[in-house]
Chains A and B, each alone.
Chain A
């Protein structure tokens, strides 16, 4: 009886291939495997690009560029390393390059716009809401260097450890921690200047 019941339960004969298996299939000319890989990683890649770049259209273009580069360079992937680390390295390289070019373009045009403050009473009590945090982040994170911002996003929003970030960026863990420390400091200064109602949270907690 039990055997009959067990036989009726559908079994998964072909479990989904992991990233390394998909890469192997792509190397053998399976375009379908590449499509599966893109679909699987879209949210991750786009999410990181969006957080770093802060603009949905640019983030979309950069994410697509990342996948094209991935397809072109797949032969270079060494399967003894985690696929996500390799992918994240590609994302950060492309995004940081884009940010550097964008910053140099923007600096020439609207550097003064950064100094604009929001007219809010610093004594006003605020209730922190997620949507607002996102808006505040987009407003103040422009002062970070592209590398600082990328590290900050990977640590605070993607929940990656310093050791993982160091592997992705190919640098020392201490370098990552330094960047993080400086990024937090700069962000707090910016909050104090432009969003004093939120900066009070830090002052009160001391």
Chain B
């Protein structure tokens, strides 16, 4: 360690020279002198020393190592959840297949019902209400005959009205 005389000769404000700081931290007489040269060295006086934890280094290291061993034991007892790359790929493929299958099944079940007249309805851009009778047979809107017998069925309270027409001249498929 440098002498007090050397220290006092070399000391400059704002010094960070390790040799000077080392002397400052070990010599109270020079600390007082240094404060008059540069008060900012005040707190530098308490640095640079080896501080030992309470109980000593051996006890400290022993505590740390025993805690590490406990952690090691915990880690080795814990179930291994390591999944290989192939396993991950297999899981991903299974999930993808499941999702695709479910989507296809859903679309198949909920696909729109295609009636023979539907394309005409879309193409004609006519409101659907006009096509209420979706039967495949043709229908007659007006009918005139002198030989027909028309029988009206008694209404049972509903809006539906059933009328029966008997006429030999009617086409067979009507």
| Chain A interface residues (CB < 8 Å from chain B) | 31, 34-35, 38-39, 42-43, 46-47, 50-51, 56-57, 59-60, 63-64, 67-68, 71-72, 127-130, 133-134, 137, 152, 156-159, 184, 187, 198, 201-202, 204-205
Query: Contacting A156 at CB < 8 Å: which of B44, B53, B65, B67?
Result: B44
A157's partner among B35, B46, B54 (CB-CB below 8 A) is B46
Interface class of chain B by DSSP: helix
CA distance A83 to B123 in the complex (A): 78
Asked whether A157 lies within 8 Å of B44 as measured between CB atoms, the reply is: yes
A35 with B60, Cβ < 8 A, contacts A128-B32, A205-B36 known: no
In B20-53, which residues have CB < 8 Å from any A CB? 21, 25, 28, 31-32, 35-36, 38-40, 42-53
Q: Chain A residue with minimal CB distance to B67?
A: A68
Once the chains bind, are B45 and A130 in contact (CB under 8 Å)? yes
Cα–Cα distance between A127 and B55 once the two chains are bound (Å): 33
Are B32 and A38 in contact, CB atoms less than 8 angstroms apart? no
- Beta-carbon contacts under 8 Å, B73-127 to A: none
Asked if A31 and B52 sit within 8 Å, CB to CB, the answer is no
Q: A31-B65, A64-B63, A67-B64 are in contact. Are A201 and B71 (CB under 8 A)?
A: no
CA distance A50 to B52 in the complex (A): 10
Complex: how many Å from CA A119 to CA B42?
21
CB distance from B52 to the nearest CB of A (A): 7
Is A127 within 8 A of B32, CB to CB? yes
Q: How far is the CA of A157 from the CA of B45 in the complex (A)?
A: 8
Binding site for A on B (CB under 8 A): 16, 18, 21, 25, 28, 31-32, 35-36, 38-40, 42-55, 57, 60-61, 63-65, 67-68, 71
- Contact across chains for A198 and B61 when beta carbons are under 8 A apart: no
Top 10 A-B pairs, shortest CB-CB distance: A157-B47, A47-B51, A201-B39, A67-B64, A60-B53, A202-B39, A46-B53, A43-B50, A134-B46, A133-B45
Give, as a whole number of angstroms, the nearest-CB distance from A75 to chain B: 13
Complex CA gap A60/B56 in Å reads 11
Q: List, sorted by A's number, 22 A–B pairs whose CB atoms are closer than 8 Å.
A: A39-B57, A42-B53, A43-B50, A43-B52, A46-B52, A50-B51, A60-B54, A63-B53, A63-B60, A71-B68, A71-B71, A72-B71, A127-B28, A128-B28, A128-B32, A128-B45, A130-B45, A137-B46, A157-B47, A159-B47, A198-B42, A205-B36
